[in-house]
Amino acid sequence: MKKLDLKDKKLLAELDLNSRATLAGLARRIPVSKQVVDYRLKNLVKNKIISQFYAVINFSKLGYTQHKLYFKFQNADVEKEREIVAYWAKSRNAIWVASCRGRWDLAVSLLAKDSNELGALLSAFLEKYGALVLEKDALITQTSHVFTKGSKEKKRFVYGSGLGHYALDEIDQKILRMLSTQARVSILEMMAALNLTRDVIAYRMKKLVKEEIISQFRVLANMGHRLYKIMLRLHSLTPEKERQLVTYVALHPDGVQYLKLIGSWDAEVEFEVRDDEHLHEILLGMRNTFSGLIRDYDLLFIHEEHKLNYYPF
């Protein structure tokens, strides 16, 4: 992987705060010239440091709940695992798909409006691939706090705190589908692809941001770190204890997400880790800080992310 200097890291941090920022805006924040920003940005994409610019869509306001599925496979060769990954990556309900190392082989985040929809999605998968599944687990995400990376001024996106029923029309849906995986696309490119006028696109985007349907514009970047989930079983999680746990992840320079769950685990926290020693330091810090709260934990290394799309419909 290309070694990143301080200006590259600063650029990535600024893009994670707002991946639709103009070249002039980014140049002021770093600070360098517009030409330097343009050159570095293109190189980060070319060298696959940046894999995606994406919009964070608040699916809770659209009436969806996130469900976490974990699978352990049996008798599945490499080709079959790839086939299963492709199955979930193509799913119109899957917002995140990742290969794992640890207890589970695959993690999938699904959106569903109720248990019947979730059951139908899981049943359809098991009807096709059930013989290859040794073990599975399904968890409901009650709330989640997602934090931006690489910057002291972290932004926070919270979903699951309450379901809404915001009605999207066809134009809204077209715009969200494009921005969900191409957040840095220009208005001119949107006009050509969506057959809409500049004024319509600008007005609708402004409205979707104001109504908090679009929460953030971010970047998915590979900075050489490893993503770990720490899955937690907890003693009584009071609102105050949860606030402390969320704050701990938010203030930790490598903390990226907290999820409160319903199911076999009570919570998940995510950290970006440099190496085994760094992981050990994070675990030791959490166990020391929350010794009276953490009853049990397990580690899950996210080996490869195959899909990230907050509006996969």
Same domain for 243 and 124: yes
Residues 147 and 162 sit within 8 Å (Cβ to Cβ): no
145 and 226 share one domain: yes
Same domain, 2 and 121: no
Domain tally, the chain: 2
**Mean pLDDT for the chain overall:** 95
pTM of the model: 0.94
Residue appearing with tokens 């469900």: 67
Domain of residue 246 covers: 60-150+221-308
* pLDDT tops 90 at residue 68: yes
**Are residues 227 and 273 both part of a single domain?**
yes
- Which secondary-structure segment (H or E) carries 277? helix 276-289
> If you ran DSSP here, which 8-state letter would residue 265 be given?
-
User: Are 269 and 258 contacting, i.e. CB atoms less than 8 angstroms apart?
Assistant: yes
pLDDT of 311 above 70: yes
Do the Cβ atoms of 20 and 187 come closer than 8 Å? no
Q: Is 41 helix (H, G, I), strand (E, B) or coil?
A: helix
pLDDT the model gives residue 155? 87
Task: Tell me what pLDDT residue 303 has.
Answer: 96
**How far, in Å, CA of 18 to CA of 55, rounded?**
9
Model confidence pLDDT, tens digit, residues 124-180: 999 999 999 999 999 999 999 999 987 777 889 998 878 899 999 999 999 999 999
Shared domain check, 11 and 128: no
Cα-only R_g, the chain: 20
What's the confidence (pLDDT) of residue 295?
A: 95
Looking up residue 237, the CATH number of its domain turns out to be: 3.30.70.100
Residue 151 structure tokens: 């910057």
> What pLDDT digit, counting tens, does each position of 184-197 carry?
999 999 999 999 99
For residues 91 and 269, give the distance between their C-alpha atoms in angstroms, rounded to a whole number: 25
The rounded distance, in Å, linking the Cα atoms of 121 and 115 is 10
